[in-house]
C-alpha cells in the first residue's frame, strides 16, 4: 500500500459542494409535479414576514427524508451543502428548530389538506405508465415505541418493549406498485383493528372514479380478523383473504379436516364456520406444512402447531381453490418489507416532537416522501428497480457527491468520474425531462 499524500493543505472556500448531488433528479421530478406550487396553493399555514414560506419548509423536510437523514436535528449537514441549496433555490437551509416550530404550528386543517393533495397526486400518477385492471390492498399496523411523555402515546400492545408507551399507526398499501394508500396515526393503546371499518371505507373512497369498477381485493393478518370489517367488505363487493385468529374452535376444526396432499408435504383443506355474532357462516381455508427439522427454524413460525405440522387458517370470500387462496395471500409478505423500509430507510420510528398534532403532521409528510421516491422509481428508472427499496434508490442515485460549476455561463453538476451508474443516471435525467403531467 502506498504512503499516500505527504504534504497536504486545507481550504474552506468552496461553496458549491454537496453530499447529495443525485437529489437533483428528485428536485426536477418535484418540479415536473409542480409540487412547491401545489403545496403553496393547497396547504394553508400562517407564517410571519421574513420567515421561510411553508411550501419551502415542506420541501426541505421532504428532501431531508429522501436524503436519508433519520432525524430533523441531523439536517445540519445540509447547512453547508452549497450546491444543494442552489438546486432548491434557497439562500440558507432552515434550522432543525425552525422545522420543529413549523410542525408545532401546523393546524389539523393543514394536515387534512396535505393528505388530500397527496391523494390527488397519487391518483394523477397511478395509471402511469399503464392503467390497472385490479387493485389489491394490504393492511398492516406497526408499534412505534417512544421514550418520553409524547402527547397521544399510550401503553398498549408492544411485543418488543413491553410496558413502554407507543404509537400504533394503521397503514394501507397498494400491493402491485407498493404505494402508500392511506394511513391513520393512532395512540399506542389502539388495537390492530380499532377503527378498521372506517379506515377501510376511507381506502375505498380514495379509489379513483375511473377505477370504480375494477376488482378490489384485500389482504390482512390476524389483527384485522373482525366480523364487522368482513361484512363491510362483502357489502362493498370486495374480495378478501384474512388470517383467522387462533381461537380454540377454529384450531380444532382446522386440525380435524381431511387434507388434500400437495407437493413437498404441504396439504390444504377448507371448512365453513359461523363465529359468535356473525350473521352467517364464512369459508375458511387451511394450509399446513411439516415442521422444520431445525428446532430454531420451527420456533420462528408464527402459525399454530401440533406435533407434526404448522397450520395457517384464512377466512375468505374468494371463489378460488384453497391452494389458489393461499397463493393469493402469500405475496402479502411484501408489506413486511415495506414496514422495515419505513422503519430503517425512513424515520417512521423516530418521533420528531413531543406534541400530538406535530407528530400527526410529520406522519403524512414522511409517507409523501416515501411515495415520491416510488413514483420516481417507477416512472424514471429502469424496470430492474421496480421492486427495490428507498435505500437502494438513495444509494445508487441520490447520495452521490457533486460539485456545482459554472463554465461559460452554464450550470454543470460535476459527479465522480468513477461513478458506476453514469448511463443509468443520465437516462433517469432524460426521463424526468420528458415527463408531462396534467394539471390538478
How far apart are alpha carbons 352 and 97 in whole angstroms? Answer: 11
Q: How confident is the model at residue 307 (pLDDT cuts 50, 70, 90)?
A: confident
Of 163, 161, 176, 172, the C-alpha closest to 204 is 172
Cell for 17? Answer: 459542494
Q: How confident is the model at residue 14 (pLDDT cuts 50, 70, 90)?
A: low
> Which tens digit of pLDDT belongs to each residue from 206-228?
998 877 778 899 999 999 999 99
Cell for 382? Answer: 429502469
For the ranges 158-167, 227-236, 421-430, the lowest mean pLDDT is seen at 158-167
More confident residue, 136 or 132: 136
Average pLDDT, the chain: 87
Check whether 366 has a pLDDT greater than 90.
Answer: yes
More confident residue, 241 or 85: 241
- Taking the domains of the chain in order of start, what are their residue ranges? 17-108+351-434
More confident residue, 48 or 374: 374
How far apart are alpha carbons 225 and 313 in whole angstroms? Answer: 11
For the ranges 86-90, 277-281, 317-321, the lowest mean pLDDT is seen at 86-90
Which pairs count as long-range contacts for 333-339, CB under 8 Å and 24+ apart, including other chains? 334/138, 334/175, 334/178, 335/138, 335/140, 335/173, 335/175, 336/140, 337/389, 338/173, 338/178, 339/140, 339/142
Residue 177 phi, psi (nearest 5):
-105, 5
Please answer whether residues 30 and 372 qualify as being in contact, where contact means their C-beta atoms are separated by less than 8 angstroms: yes
Q: How confident is the model at residue 313 (pLDDT cuts 50, 70, 90)?
A: very high
> Which tens digit of pLDDT belongs to each residue from 162-208?
888 899 999 999 998 889 999 999 999 999 899 999 999 999 999 98
Check whether 6 has a pLDDT greater than 70.
Answer: no
Residue with cell 423516530: 350
Q: What mean pLDDT do residues 362-366 have?
A: 94
Check whether 2 has a pLDDT greater than 60.
Answer: no
> Which tens digit of pLDDT belongs to each residue from 55-96?
988 998 898 899 888 777 677 667 666 677 776 667 777 888
> Which tens digit of pLDDT belongs to each residue from 385-407?
988 999 999 999 988 888 888 78
Q: How confident is the model at residue 10 (pLDDT cuts 50, 70, 90)?
A: low
Check whether 297 has a pLDDT greater than 60.
Answer: no
pLDDT value of position 402: 82
Cell for 53? Answer: 414560506
For the ranges 22-31, 91-100, 160-169, the lowest mean pLDDT is seen at 91-100
Q: What mean pLDDT do residues 10-35 have?
A: 80
More confident residue, 378 or 75: 378
How far apart are alpha carbons 400 and 67 in whole angstroms? Answer: 10
Angle at 86 between CA 85 and CA 90, to 5 degrees: 55
Residue 144 phi, psi (nearest 5):
-110, 105
pLDDT value of position 302: 53
Angle at 95 between CA 93 and CA 12, to 5 degrees: 60
Q: What mean pLDDT do residues 20-39 have?
A: 91
- Give the start-end residues of each E strand in 237-281: 239-243, 260-261, 267-273
More confident residue, 292 or 53: 53
pLDDT value of position 120: 94
Q: How far is CA 136 from CA 160, 181, 203, in A?
A: 30, 11, 11
Of 251, 217, 211, 246, the C-alpha closest to 234 is 217
Report the share of the chain in percent with pLDDT over 90: 52
Residues 6+ apart with CB under 8 A from 429: 24, 25, 28
Q: What mean pLDDT do residues 259-280 have?
A: 92
Of 32, 39, 12, the C-alpha closest to 106 is 39
pLDDT value of position 284: 97
Residue 252 phi, psi (nearest 5):
-65, -40
Instruction: Classify residue 329 by burial, with Cβ atoms within 10 Å: 0-12, 13-18, 19+.
Output: buried
Cell for 300? Answer: 420462528
Q: How confident is the model at residue 301 (pLDDT cuts 50, 70, 90)?
A: very low
Check whether 12 has a pLDDT greater than 60.
Answer: no
pLDDT value of position 413: 82
Strand-pair category, 402-405 with 165-167: unpaired
* The pTM of the whole model exceeds 0.75: yes
pLDDT value of position 287: 93
Of 140, 139, 141, 169, the C-alpha closest to 154 is 169
How far apart are alpha carbons 145 and 343 in whole angstroms? Answer: 11
pLDDT value of position 298: 44
Amino acid at each position: 500500500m502506498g504512503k499516500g499524500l505527504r504534504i497536504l493543505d486545507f481550504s474552506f472556500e468552496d461553496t458549491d459542494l454537496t453530499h447529495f448531488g443525485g437529489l437533483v433528479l428528485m428536485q426536477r421530478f418535484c418540479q415536473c409535479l409542480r409540487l412547491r406550487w401545489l403545496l403553496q396553493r393547497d396547504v394553508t399555514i400562517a407564517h410571519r414576514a421574513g420567515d421561510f414560506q411553508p411550501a419551502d419548509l415542506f420541501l426541505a423536510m421532504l428532501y431531508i427524508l429522501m436524503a436519508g437523514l433519520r432525524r430533523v436535528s441531523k439536517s445540519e449537514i445540509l447547512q453547508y451543502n452549497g450546491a444543494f441549496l442552489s438546486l432548491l433555490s434557497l439562500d440558507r437551509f432552515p434550522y432543525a428548530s425552525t422545522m420543529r416550530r413549523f410542525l408545532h404550528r401546523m393546524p389539523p386543517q393543514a394536515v387534512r389538506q396535505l393528505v388530500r393533495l397527496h391523494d390527488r397526486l397519487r391518483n394523477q400518477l397511478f395509471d402511469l405508465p399503464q392503467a390497472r385492471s385490479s387493485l389489491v390492498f394490504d393492511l398492516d399496523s406497526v408499534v412505534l415505541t417512544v421514550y418520553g411523555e409524547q402527547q397521544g402515546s399510550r401503553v398498549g400492545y408492544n411485543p418488543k418493549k413491553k410496558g413502554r408507551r407507543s404509537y400504533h399507526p394503521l397503514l394501507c398499501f397498494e400491493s402491485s406498485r407498493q404505494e402508500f394508500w392511506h394511513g391513520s396515526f393512532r395512540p399506542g393503546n389502539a388495537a390492530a383493528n380499532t377503527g378498521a371499518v372506517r379506515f377501510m371505507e376511507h381506502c375505498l373512497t380514495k379509489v379513483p372514479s375511473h377505477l370504480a369498477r375494477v376488482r378490489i381485493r384485500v389482504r390482512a393478518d390476524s389483527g384485522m380478523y373482525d366480523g364487522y370489517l368482513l361484512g363491510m367488505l362483502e357489502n362493498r363487493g370486495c374480495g378478501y383473504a384474512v388470517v383467522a385468529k387462533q381461537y380454540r374452535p377454529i384450531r380444532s376444526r382446522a386440525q380435524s379436516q381431511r387434507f388434500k396432499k400437495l407437493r413437498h408435504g404441504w396439504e390444504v383443506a377448507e371448512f365453513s364456520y359461523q363465529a359468535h355474532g356473525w350473521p352467517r357462516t364464512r369459508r375458511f381455508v387451511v394450509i399446513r406444512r411439516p415442521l422444520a427439522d431445525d428446532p430454531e427454524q420451527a420456533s420462528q413460525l408464527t402459525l399454530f402447531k401440533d406435533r407434526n405440522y404448522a397450520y395457517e387458517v384464512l377466512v375468505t370470500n374468494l371463489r378460488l381453490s384453497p391452494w389458489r387462496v393461499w397463493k393469493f395471500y402469500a405475496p402479502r409478505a411484501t408489506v413486511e418489507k415495506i414496514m422495515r423500509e419505513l422503519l430503517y430507510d425512513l424515520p417512521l420510528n423516530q418521533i420528531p416532537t413531543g406534541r400530538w398534532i406535530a407528530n400527526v403532521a410529520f406522519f403524512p409528510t414522511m409517507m409523501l416522501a416515501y411515495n415520491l421516491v416510488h413514483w420516481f422509481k417507477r416512472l424514471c428508472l429502469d424496470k430492474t428497480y421496480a421492486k427495490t427499496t428507498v435505500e437502494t434508490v438513495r444509494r445508487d442515485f441520490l447520495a452521490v457527491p457533486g460539485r456545482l460549476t459554472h463554465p461559460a455561463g452554464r450550470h454543470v453538476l460535476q459527479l465522480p468520474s468513477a461513478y458506476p451508474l453514469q448511463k443509468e443516471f443520465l437516462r433517469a435525467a432524460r426521463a424526468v425531462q420528458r415527463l408531462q403531467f396534467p394539471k390538478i
